[in-house]
């Protein structure tokens, strides 16, 4: 059994307190490692190392030198692809067929995308008149924001962590990362790649632990952390905002969602079924952009429900190494308890269980895993907890609608606004409806199609700020105006 240690100032170190907690494989329930829990001392050491690196060699590098190193980081992940893949699947339980096509390639690509972007991002310049007639020149320069606290989630551990670390480092910042306690391994392993790529000590630091009275709380409260970026549930985001208010530090928050899919009768049914199957059940439903509410125009409602049921029942549940598996376990037994509590609420509230609703029968060697069935319901009222609260599991509720106006009202009825998907072959309707949906991203006849240059983030209770392309650079830099009297 291995130990997962903190990565501080270029070295792996244990906790002074000796506190350890279990890293559990959700596929079979077995403990696969012991994780060191950071106290205030480890977090403080990590922040001090990050501050020193900011003033040291990293801060003195040119953009070209810095981005060349980040390309080497991306290449280092790719060179150790199988090792990262194995670690990610052991932590999350997701099929290798999924992680090998999304998690690890995107985890590496995030360094190259932002390294290339930062070399070409423009600022601004203005000439102005002055009373004496000589004039003045104003020009903007971008400077690193400083030490960034990065708190990353467990559903796409490497991808979403590097989605923050990549642009932060490209802009010249240093980071202290607190990965989810459920999925620490690839974040820790990245320290080896950073060292091999020539990233100076202290630029990338990792501390492990939990939220309250642990690494997360110590990091967000640390006065020498200049900004905090977080992906996770809304309640935790509110806690981080309160901590960041002391010292008036900026936050970037990508929070919860209860995303709607709208399926019009003029859709391409094959596209709508395939897309909704992915958006409801990919990664076992543990995707912030996933669809848990599906609104279907009444003339095609019965056909859509029947075909989605058939698609859900055709999913192959299995362990990560099964090449035919496309549906894995949930991330933990604790999360399974939450998901199953909603499965029970649906039954208690009189839902029609179209398919699923429980725990699948698994072979003996997998019986201890955090497995649940892909589940579809109909018949619940609009104010049901199952319809209004984020479950973050492989499930969706399908409800009919009669008019375009009704569909828009239903989609916008909740305090969340992260993502939505619209299925229609009428281009005028697609533009008209998309413009009225209160969400940070709206897909038309697709789902999870992402250009990394575009803005990503939520509205309402789904977050603050935008990530992606130049929008990430705006968070990770301070734009300074220099005024020169001529």
Examine the domain organization and report whether 352 and 313 are in the same domain: yes
Q: Which domain holds residue 273?
A: 259-451
Q: What is the CATH number of the domain that holds 421?
A: 3.40.309.10
Copy the structure tokens of residue 304.
Answer: 């859509």
pLDDT (tens digit, 9 = 90+) per residue, 19-38?
999 999 999 999 999 999 99
Examine the domain organization and report whether 185 and 321 are in the same domain: no
pTM of full prediction above 0.95: yes
Q: What is the CATH number of the domain that holds 204?
A: 3.40.605.10
Examine the domain organization and report whether 166 and 212 are in the same domain: yes
The answer as to whether 456 is a domain residue is: no
Among residues 89, 288, 395, 396, the one annotated as catalytic is 288
Examine the domain organization and report whether 179 and 202 are in the same domain: yes
Examine the domain organization and report whether 56 and 190 are in the same domain: yes
The answer as to whether 329 is a domain residue is: yes
Instruction: Find the largest Cα–Cα distance for the chain.
Output: 86
The answer as to whether 418 is a domain residue is: yes
Examine the domain organization and report whether 151 and 42 are in the same domain: yes
The overall average pLDDT reported for the chain is 97
The number of beta carbons lying within 10 Å of the beta carbon of residue 24 is 23
- For residue 11, indicate whether it is catalytic: no
The answer as to whether 457 is a domain residue is: no
The model's confidence at residue 1, banded by pLDDT at 50, 70 and 90, is low
Among residues 42, 88, 254, 319, the one annotated as catalytic is 254
Examine the domain organization and report whether 301 and 375 are in the same domain: yes
The answer as to whether 421 is a domain residue is: yes
Within 8 A by CB and 6+ apart from 458, the residues are 254, 255, 257, 416, 417, 418, 419, 439, 440
pLDDT (tens digit, 9 = 90+) per residue, 328-372?
999 999 999 999 999 999 999 999 999 999 999 999 999 999 999
Q: What is the pLDDT of residue 131?
A: 97
Q: What is the pLDDT of residue 94?
A: 97
Overall average pLDDT of the 386-402 stretch: 98
The answer as to whether 319 is a domain residue is: yes
Between CA 293 and CA 389 the distance in angstroms is: 10
Q: What is the pLDDT of residue 461?
A: 97
Q: How many domains is the chain partitioned into structurally?
A: 2
The answer as to whether 287 is a domain residue is: yes
Examine the domain organization and report whether 8 and 80 are in the same domain: yes
The answer as to whether 139 is a domain residue is: yes
- For residue 254, indicate whether it is catalytic: yes
- Per DSSP bridges, beta strands 259-263 and 419-423 are parallel
Examine the domain organization and report whether 207 and 99 are in the same domain: yes
């Amino acid at each position: 059994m291995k130990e997962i240690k903190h990565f501080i100032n270029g070295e792996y170190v244990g906790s002074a307190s000796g506190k350890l907690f279990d890293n559990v494989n959700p596929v079979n329930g077995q403990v696969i490692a012991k994780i060191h829990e950071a106290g205030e001392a480890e977090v403080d050491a990590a922040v001090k190392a990050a501050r020193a690196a900011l003033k040291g060699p990293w801060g003195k590098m040119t953009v070209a030198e810095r981005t060349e190193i980040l390309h080497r980081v991306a290449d280092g992940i790719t060179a150790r692809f199988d090792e990262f893949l194995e670690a990610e699947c052991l932590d999350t339980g997701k099929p290798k067929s999924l992680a090998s096509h999304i998690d690890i390639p995107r985890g590496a690509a995030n360094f190259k995308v932002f390294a290339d972007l930062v070399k070409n991002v423009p600022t601004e310049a203005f000439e102005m008149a002055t009373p004496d007639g000589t004039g003045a020149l104003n020009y903007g320069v971008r400077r690193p924001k400083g030490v960034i606290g990065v708190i990353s989630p467990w559903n796409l551990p490497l991808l979403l962590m590097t989605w923050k670390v990549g642009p932060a480092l490209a802009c010249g910042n240093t980071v202290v990362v607190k990965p989810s306690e459920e999925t620490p391994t690839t974040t820790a392993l990245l320290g080896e790649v950073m060292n091999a790529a020539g990233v100076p000590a202290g630029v990338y630091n990792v501390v492990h632990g939990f939220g309250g009275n642990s690494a997360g709380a110590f990091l967000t409260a640390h006065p020498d952390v200049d900004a905090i970026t977080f992906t996770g549930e809304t309640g935790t985001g509110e806690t981080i905002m309160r901590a960041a208010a002391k010292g008036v530090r900026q936050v970037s928050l990508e929070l919860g969602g209860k995303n709607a899919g709208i399926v019009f009768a003029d859709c391409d049914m094959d596209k709508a079924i395939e897309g909704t199957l992915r958006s409801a059940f990919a990664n076992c439903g543990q995707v912030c952009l996933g669809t848990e509410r599906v609104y279907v125009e009444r003339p095609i409602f019965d056909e859509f429900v029947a075909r989605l049921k058939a698609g859900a029942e055709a999913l192959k549940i299995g362990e990560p190494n099964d090449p035919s598996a496309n549906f894995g376990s949930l991330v933990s037994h604790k999360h399974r308890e939450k998901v199953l509590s909603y499965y029970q609420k649906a039954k208690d509230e009189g839902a029609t269980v179209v398919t699923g609703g429980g725990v699948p029968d698994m072979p003996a060697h997998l019986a201890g895993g955090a497995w649940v069935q892909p589940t579809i319901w109909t018949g619940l009222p609009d104010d049901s907890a199952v319809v209004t609260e984020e479950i973050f599991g492989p499930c969706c509720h399908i409800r009919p609608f009669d008019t375009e106006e009704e569909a828009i009202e239903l989609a916008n009825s909740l305090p969340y606004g992260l993502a939505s998907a619209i299925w229609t072959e009428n281009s005028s309707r697609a533009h008209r409806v998309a413009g009225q949906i209160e969400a940070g991203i709206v897909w038309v006849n697709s789902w999870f199609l992402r250009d990394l240059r575009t803005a990503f983030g939520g509205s309402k209770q789904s977050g603050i700020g935008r990530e992606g392309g130049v929008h990430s650079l705006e968070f990770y830099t301070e734009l300074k105006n220099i005024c020169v009297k001529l």
